[in-house]
Amino acid sequence: QLLERDLRGALDRQELRLHYQGRYAVRGGTLAGFEALIRWQHPERGLVPPGTFIPVAEDTRMILPIGEWVLREACAQAVRWAFPQRGLGMSVNVSPLQFDLPHFVDTVRAALHATGLPARHLILEITESLVMRDLDRAQSHVTELKALGVQIAMDDFGTGYSSLSMLESLPFDQLKVDRSFTRHLTTDRQPRVTALMSAMIQLAQTLNMTVTVEGVEDDAQRDRLRDLGCDHIQGFLLARPLPPEAAEQLLPAAA
Ligand code: G
Ligand code: G
Ligand code: MN
Ligand code: NA
């Protein structure tokens, strides 16, 4: 059983790591940016995936200092990798608990300022959640973040409780379609899932959002998404989440 003090220790002992997964244009196949994904390099357990410790971090509110570290580290990495010169975006997952803090926007501003990353190269991924009950606060945060120039993505689209009402009230820049849909592009559920994918892509584009489909694992899925007019894809076909040394090899030559 993971405890708060284990997570506190992980942060203090610098056992947390970020891996990076590429997001690619479906046409042309060029790299659009990376998504930062947290890992815990545990001295005995090895590399612990987020699914096992993020829920504990949320229950104990340790996600708040951890989330601040993630934001800082991802922005710093984007600067080291010359994202502004390369025209790339760094996507960072934000816990609803973090996003709901009154001073969340200050945290983002501080991370940008400390690292020197221009705001337009940062994309904050938020999920719909029951935690985000305070829609007024969410709205004012999004407005302030967009005024800073930060982009906002709705993550895991299509799986939660209230995606459409969030889309109605918040001006997202990007929509990320959950990977649970993607595998059925090539199963016997293909006709239904193709209709849904097509509708989600149209919806995103009608609302001026860039749409990324996640979990693309083979050429057939990619080709179908290209035919449906999808903008970006992410998934094991293109790149797995990689440690920084390996992710760096995916960078295009600086412009
Ligand atoms: O990397 P992996 O596919 O195992 O990630 C599993 C889940 O953990 C995903 O839903 C992802 O959004 C979440 N996650 C990964 N990194 C972070 C992070 O830095 N902060 C938060 N809040 N969630 C993360
Ligand atoms: O919830 P979020 O979209 O942030 O989660 C991203 C998670 O999805 C990461 O844990 C990552 O490891 C996983 N992932 C990314 N690409 C693929 C893929 O092509 N197939 C599968 N099964 N998982 C993927
Ligand atoms: Mn995500
Ligand atoms: Na997702």
* Residue 181 one-letter amino acid: F
Tokens 């993630």 correspond to 70
CB 89 within 8 Å of CB 83 = yes
Residue of 62, 70, 93 to mutate, ligand 1, most atoms within 8 A of C-beta: 93
At 26-45, the pLDDT tens digits run 999 999 999 999 999 998 88
Tell the residue nearest (CA) to atom 24 of ligand 2.
Answer: 215
What CATH homologous superfamily does 21-36+68-250 map to?
Answer: EAL domain (3.20.20.450)
At 81-127, the pLDDT tens digits run 999 999 999 999 999 999 989 999 999 999 999 999 999 999 999 98
Using pLDDT thresholds of 50, 70 and 90, give the confidence band for residue 2: low
Instruction: Give ipTM to 2 decimals.
Output: 0.96
Helix (H) or strand (E) holding 233: strand 232-233
CA 50 – ligand 1 centroid, Å:
5
Q: What is the mean pLDDT of residues 5-16?
A: 92
* Residue 247 one-letter amino acid: A
Taking the CA atoms of the chain, what radius of gyration do you get in angstroms?
18
Ligand 1 pocket (Cβ < 6 Å) reads 37-38, 49-51, 54, 67, 70, 93, 95, 241
Q: What is the pLDDT of residue 133?
A: 67
Q: Which atom of ligand 2 is the closest one to the Cα of 214?
A: 16
Domains of the chain, residue spans: 21-36+68-250
Smallest CA-to-CA distance from 21 within 226, 210, 216, 222 is with 216
Q: In the predicted model, is pLDDT for residue 129 greater than 80? A: no
Q: What is the mean pLDDT of residues 210-234?
A: 98
Smallest CA-to-CA distance from 40 within 7, 71, 87 is with 7
Tell the residue nearest (CA) to atom 19 of ligand 1.
Answer: 38
**Percent above pLDDT 70 for the chain:** 96
Q: pTM for the whole thing?
A: 0.96
Residue of 126, 156, 214, 225 to mutate, ligand 2, most atoms within 8 A of C-beta: 214
Cα 210 to Cα 71: distance, rounded to the nearest angstrom = 22
- Give 202's contacts (C-beta < 8 A, 6+ positions apart): 229
CB 37 within 8 Å of CB 51 = no
Q: What is the pLDDT of residue 162?
A: 65
CB 158 within 8 Å of CB 140 = no
CA 31 – ligand 1 centroid, Å:
21
